[in-house]
Amino acid sequence: MKSAMSETITPRRAELFRYVGLDLDQTTVRGTFEVDGRNFSETVEFEGVGNLDTPAVRSVAELWFLVAGLSYYKTGAARRIDVGSTPLGAAGRRLLEAALRDGLGEFSYHNDLPLDDVTIEGGDSVAEAPITLDPRRVLVPFGGGIDSVVTVESLSSDLEISLFIVSPSTGRFAPLEATAAKTGLPVVRATRHLDSQLLSGEDSFFHGHVPVTAMITLLCAMAAVASGRGGVVMSNEHSASIPNLEWSGREINHQWSKSLAAEVLIADALRERLGDQLVVASFLRARSEIWVAQVFSQLPAYHHVFRSCNRAFRQSMDQRHSSWCGVCDKCLFVNLVLAPYVPRATLREIFGHEPLSDAARDEQLRVLVGLGAEAKPFECVGDPDESAVALSKVSHMDEWRDVPRLVEITQDTSPSRSFDELLQPQGTDRVPAHWLR
């Protein structure tokens, strides 16, 4: 007979998720939520933004409140969502519905839990908040990887640029801070204090991915409005819009909140509240990962400080890696796209590993280029075409000829675009002309 301590608890769906309240003061925003009577709260502290407690900032904070609530909604995946008296608006409702069903798409897939039956109730009308912002002052959400570095270094010199960095309550991320310092730019900060219940990992909760980039985008929008800045410059490439797979009649995209669809929804919801004063767009939207890697390769000052390995950005300080792990899909992908441009010896110095020549990574590599039994990894990596094209390029380089497996894998791929085509713009973007050089 099993003891109570050894029994596995199966999560059960909740009936009601409520948005209880949103509070702001000069430097802090706090959202309170409820799942079948159980309360959760999240607090975000800002530095360097001026006063948050204004009608315009509150209006943006309401959007953050709606999307951030999904971190707590997922614990019970309730069948009903009640936003109460939170101003919603037509565009805000579209954003919340998409963030629920598409932003939690990966969560739904891994939990085998479609959310098509969820209803959203309540919501007051939205009144546009009058505000004047300076279009040449912009904030760049900065993550310390190649994408945000390339954005910062490619923006027009006529802009007044500051970085926006979000840290957990457990402490700042050392690689991110080191990379930010290399830019020499001022930093606006936010510290997220997630509810401790969420971090406890209770067996009675559902667990899974949430649209965190959408949350960070809206926090950055709050900081921009509070400090008179008219632009939020994201760093999401074209491939962020490509889904990982299709399941239950819906496209599942790990990077949904980095996609063009999410960008447009967020911009529309902000326009509904602020008019055209604030521009939120991705500077890299029409660019491939191959193009980004090429530009980054020409920025050697960042090569030994940047970090894209997710294990360096864990919530718990004692679980953070102090270097590239060399074994995850992100390490392998970044190694792959930089290899056509950065000498092999330099890559070894940067990573401390060589994922591309590690036979233990072969199946991961096959998945990246679209040959594996599994779908595209649930990571922020490029689409299979980009990976296949990069691998083909590397496999024919003299300095990689001692790794014949790369050629063998390449021979099985059939990308629809060439290396040179991927260096050209991919689709359209929403980047305003004054952001460009």
Question: Model confidence over 17-41: pLDDT tens digits?
Answer: 999 999 999 999 999 999 999 999 9
Strands (E), 96-200: 119-121, 134-141, 160-168, 187-193
Whether the pLDDT of residue 173 is over 70: the answer is yes
Would you give the end-to-end CA distance of the chain in angstroms? 71
Q: Residue 375: phi, psi to the nearest 5?
A: -75, 170
Residues 6+ apart with CB under 8 A from 333: 289, 368, 379, 381, 382, 387
CA atoms within 13 A on the CB side of 42: 25
Q: Residue 32: phi, psi to the nearest 5?
A: -120, 135
| Domain range annotation of the chain | 13-285, 295-422
Cα 286–288–290 angle (5° rounding)? Answer: 150
Q: What is the pLDDT of residues 255-273, one digit of tens each?
A: 999 999 999 999 999 999 9
CA pair distance 136, 8, nearest whole angstrom:
55
Rounded to 10 degrees, the C-alpha dihedral 213/172/230/57 comes to: 80
Q: Residue 297: phi, psi to the nearest 5?
A: -60, -20
pTM: 0.95
CA pair distance 138, 186, nearest whole angstrom:
11
Q: 139 pairs with which residues across the strands?
A: 162, 232
Q: Which amino acid is at 286?
A: A
Whether the pLDDT of residue 294 is over 50: the answer is yes
CA distances from 247 to 105, 106, 251 (A): 9, 10, 6
CA pair distance 187, 144, nearest whole angstrom:
13
Whether the pLDDT of residue 102 is over 50: the answer is yes
CA pair distance 220, 379, nearest whole angstrom:
23
Residues 6+ apart with CB under 8 A from 435: 138, 155, 156, 159, 231, 233, 281, 283
Mean pLDDT of 85-94: 97
Q: Torsion-angle region of residue 123: left (phi > 0), alpha (psi -120 to 50) or beta?
A: left
> What pLDDT is recorded for position 319?
67
Whether the pLDDT of residue 82 is over 50: the answer is yes
- What is the DSSP secondary structure assignment for residue 17, as one 8-state letter? E
CA pair distance 121, 85, nearest whole angstrom:
10
> What pLDDT is recorded for position 7?
57
- What is the DSSP secondary structure assignment for residue 84, as one 8-state letter? T
> What pLDDT is recorded for position 4?
44
Rounded to 10 degrees, the C-alpha dihedral 221/307/432/162 comes to: 50
Strands (E), 97-170: 119-121, 134-141, 160-168
Spatial strand order of the sheet with 119-121 comes to 119-121, 80-82, 16-24, 28-35, 38-47, 187-193, 160-168, 134-141, 229-234, 279-282
Percent residues over pLDDT 90 in the chain: 89
Q: Quick one: 174 exposed, middle or buried, by C-beta within 10 A (0-12, 13-18, 19+)? A: middle
CA distances from 260 to 141, 196, 335, 434 (A): 17, 32, 26, 20
Cα 312–252–384 angle (5° rounding)? Answer: 70
Mean pLDDT of 133-156: 97
Q: Which of 3-7, 166-170, 316-320 has the highest mean pLDDT?
A: 166-170
Three-state DSSP at 37 gives coil
